[in-house]
Structure 1
Amino acid sequence: MGQIKELNLVSGPSSPQCTIRHEAPAIVFSAGGHTGNLFHAFNDGLIPLFITASSFYPDGDFIIVVSEFHDWWQSKYAEILKVLSKHPIVALEKDNATHCFPSATLGLIAHGFMTIDPTLIPTSKTLMHFRDLIEKAYTQNPILPSPPLDPKPERRPRLVLTCRGNDVSSRRILNQDEVIQVMKEIGFDVIVFQPNRCTSLSEAYAMLNSSHVMVGVHGAALTHALFLRPRSVFMQVVPIGTEWAADAFYGRIAKGLNVNYLEYKIRVEESSLMEKYGKDNVLLKDPSAVQKKGWPTEIMDIYLKQQNVKLDLVRFRKSLKSAYLMAKKFMHKER
């Protein structure tokens, strides 16, 4: 939050002479903070921007005015931003002109983690409407077409496994090769998806929008679940101590998009923390007791930055079989 600048509102009889006079109102907000993280980019920025625009300017006729503007931010989310507003973006730090607007809304409205409450918006928008906006953004001029689906009823469901690279020290699946083999044995075609900051959202949308199942360990990459189609399957692997965040962040996406949602909560024996702290440590035996007073950085770092998972293949196979049955049912409705 230290990166977020405060804007001063000054009221007085005189004002600077307008260099550019706009007819449309403005929504002014910051693209700073943690927006380099995909989860925060959507949770703190794009979804609140959609809520704010739907609340005050449902016709979409408004101008985006951004503080802490970054070229990479505009480039990465360009398609979504263009659907939200037809006007060019005004970047405060890069523009020396004096812009005049008939009115302006400063700051964004949020309804909580990854959620949109239709009762708080005059136009009754939901997360499904936001997903429709994403679909419009990435299907108007798609960079890549969606992979073709085999029309034969016996085709295998397509499963996308989101994973973290070897250069990342936490929340990796240590036995990933064995997990992929089990997925294939059950009957999935498996696509390994290892996103990074440079990953094209258009390509990610094309892949996930044409898939039937998405599986991944709790983390920012699961924000891509916004690209899943309703009635597809989303399975979140939940490490020790991340239960509340798993539900608040990504469980709400599944509920809001009518996606079949499964949680695979690992046991102590499946966590790398057991080797470091021992299975009887309160950090592993009762994470909720540790977190009663909140989630201070030192506790958050243990669960999010020190923990990898080694999945119990027998137990995980059972969850995958449930996902497979859901996926086949979804495929049947596709035909």
Structure 2
Amino acid sequence: MGEFDLIARFFKRPPRHAALGIGDDCALLQPAPGTQLAISCDMLVAGRHFFADVSPHKLGHKALAVNLSDLAACGAKPLAFTLALALPEANEPWLAAFAQGLFELADAHDCELIGGDTTAGPLNICITVFGEVPVVQGRSLALLRSGARAGDDLYVSGTLGDARLALDAQQGKLSVPAPVLRAARERLERPTPRVALGLALRGVASAAIDLSDGFMGDLGHILECSRVGASVQVDRLVQCIGCYAEAAPAEHPLGIDLSVEQWRTLALAGGDDYELLFTAPAGQRAAVARAAQTSRTPVHRIGRIDAIAGLRLLDAQGRALEPHDASFDHFA
């Protein structure tokens, strides 16, 4: 099977949104009147971003999900994406499962594949995604990292820490029961892009970012871009860990016997959560609750934005905690 046969068999579809899709040197997109294009790109590399035994179906899902998460953080409606794929070999069952996982998520968000590239080489998946953001009276409704203001509430969506738990368990750093590992690994390998929440937060949130490298580092980007500080109630954040609510009661019924510091590490320095971290004025709490309800996404208020620069970590009694590990950095 040659390169162009591979593309035609597994990835070519009739264009829906694009003026011109796969088949020419370039695809053509026509943004709707009164919108801006939001564009993001993410790469998944074998041995760096996923385990060798990950199912191709889940890998197809995650490859697109991490990009849709960027659109969610910008409040952008998904439109289209390109796929650059390096493959060690043209394995037809692998390609069929990968394409199925990819297109199931793409169809769920009405986001079409419009082009890309294939080559032989170590497994590497690079997706560029395009979305639309309304422009109203000359003002973009995009959510940015730079809009947080002193007095704003600080929120996270969904659950944190499960992906880090799966990674640590796979690497032998933690011991957890098999059912817990399966559930945590599902969160690692099939993240849920919070697109509906991002759309619902337009005009409500003041700043947003998706949690890809870990809470500490990603919050740091908002604080730096907005030139503000923050106070975070760490133990409230710990309660957002997916497995914590069941594991925390006495006797640890799930068999997860972690120290307080280990729970805090999962919440603060995890990664691959792909939840939204966002800020909103205190007066928008009802609107945030409506956005959570309409998007069917739980949100948790876990701190506030301060005028004084820096990040302050507080325990359940409001006492200051020591600085914590930084988030993931490929080149640190």
> TM-score, normalised on structure 1?
0.29
Q: Which has the higher strand share?
A: 2
Larger radius of gyration: 1
TM-score by length of structure 2 reads: 0.29
The structure showing larger relative contact order (alpha-carbon pairs under 8 Å, at least 6 residues apart) is 2
